[in-house]
């Protein structure tokens, strides 16, 4: 068994010929959602399943993930915290602002925040960044997985308020939540065009790839703000 760091805080574990993603467990011996824990040379890793996490799928698709050990991350659409927990592992010296709208999933997320010291839970609508602007500081990375029809607009308004000048946006676009009947490829093209042109904040898309076979009809996007 061997662990190789593929990006800051993200490891590829080779075990019996198979490769798996993993992060170093911030809270040793605790499994968050039933994922496997593996100890290698005194260090405990949590296996990270790309089928359950858009971010993990993006790592496997060779995105140059800009999250570092001391990054400040604004996480929109935190849900019950599956991916958030891994981001929290990665930014062991940083902080994650986890925004979630649903009360039901917030219940699970709070349980996670209770045991992890670097997550700030925020029950709010990502459409209205002004409702949490008094809490969140400027961040290095915005990660967004909200499955809303206006998701590119949500990314833009949040980047305008919170993203540092040289910060990055990581975005997962779900074609089916924008238009259930249209061809996903067309939807993706249109969303990328919107990100580049339509809003106050104009993005420069650095990388975009479909997240097949892990997530159907999803496009992973990494972008930066274009400054004129």
Partner 1 sequence: MKIITWFGTLTLDSDGKVVEWDLFPKDTDVLAERLIQPKEADMNIPPTGFDIRAAAIECGFVASNDEYDKLLRDVSIRAAKQQISSGTPDMGIIQAVEALDDIDETANTLSERLAEWYGMYFPEVGLSSEPLVRFVAKYGSRSNIPTDDRLYEKATSSMGAELTGLDEELVKGFAENICTLYDSRSRIEEYLVKSMETTAPNLVNIAGALIGARLVSMAGGLEKLARFPSSTIQVIGANRALFKHLRARAPSPKHGIIFNNPIIKNAPWWQRGKIARALAAKISLAVRMDVYSGELNESIKTELDAKIESIKAANPKPPKRENKNKNKGGKVKGKGQKQNTGGRR
81 touches partner 1 by CB under 8 A = no
Cα 165 to Cα 58: distance, rounded to the nearest angstrom: 23
Residue 103: CB minimum distance to partner 1, A: 5
Cα 180 to Cα 183: distance, rounded to the nearest angstrom: 9
# residues near partner 1 by CB under 8 A: 26
130 touches partner 1 by CB under 8 A = yes
Q: Closer to partner 1 at the Cβ: 77 or 220?
A: 77
Of 39-68, binders to partner 1 (CB under 8 A) are: none
228 touches partner 1 by CB under 8 A = no
**Cα dist. 199→9, 72, 90, 97, 159 in Å?**
33, 24, 31, 24, 11
Cα 9 to Cα 149: distance, rounded to the nearest angstrom: 32
Q: Closer to partner 1 at the Cβ: 7 or 92?
A: 92
Site string for partner 1, 20-39 (x = CB under 8 A): --------------------
Q: Closer to partner 1 at the Cβ: 56 or 87?
A: 87
DSSP states along 79-102:
TTSHHHHHHHHHTTTSEEEEEE--
Among 4, 51, 160, 226, binds partner 1 (CB under 8 A): 160
Asked if residues 56 and 50 have their Cβ atoms less than 8 Å apart, the reply is yes
Site string for partner 1, 97-126 (x = CB under 8 A): ------x--xx-xx--xx--xxxxxxx---
Cα 208 to Cα 200: distance, rounded to the nearest angstrom: 21
Asked if residues 166 and 212 have their Cβ atoms less than 8 Å apart, the reply is no
What residues line the site for partner 1 (CB under 8 A)?
A: 95, 103, 106-107, 109-110, 113-114, 117-123, 130, 133-138, 160-161, 180-181
């Amino acid at each position: 068994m061997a662990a190789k760091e593929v990006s800051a805080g993200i490891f590829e574990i080779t075990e019996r010929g198979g490769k798996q993603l993993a992060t170093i467990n911030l809270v040793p011996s605790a499994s968050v959602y039933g994922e496997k824990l593996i100890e290698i040379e005194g260090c405990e890793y949590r296996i990270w399943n790309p089928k359950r996490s858009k971010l993990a799928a993006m790592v496997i698709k060779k995105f140059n993930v800009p999250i570092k050990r001391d990054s400040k991350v604004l996480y929109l659409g935190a849900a019950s915290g599956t991916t958030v927990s891994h981001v929290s592992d990665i930014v062991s010296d940083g902080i994650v602002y986890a925004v979630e709208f649903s009360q039901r999933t917030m219940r699970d997320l709070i349980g996670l925040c209770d045991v992890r010291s670097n997550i700030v839970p925020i029950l709010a609508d990502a459409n209205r960044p002004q409702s949490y602007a008094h809490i969140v500081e400027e961040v290095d990375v915005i990660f967004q997985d909200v499955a809303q029809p206006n998701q590119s607009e949500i990314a833009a308004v949040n980047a305008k308020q919170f993203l540092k000048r040289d910060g990055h946006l990581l975005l997962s676009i779900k074609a089916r939540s924008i238009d259930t009947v249209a061809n996903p490829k067309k939807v993706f093209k249109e969303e990328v065009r919107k990100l580049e042109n339509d809003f106050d904040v104009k993005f420069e898309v650095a990388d975009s790839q479909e997240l097949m076979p892990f997530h159907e009809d999803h496009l992973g996007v990494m972008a930066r703000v274009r400054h004129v």
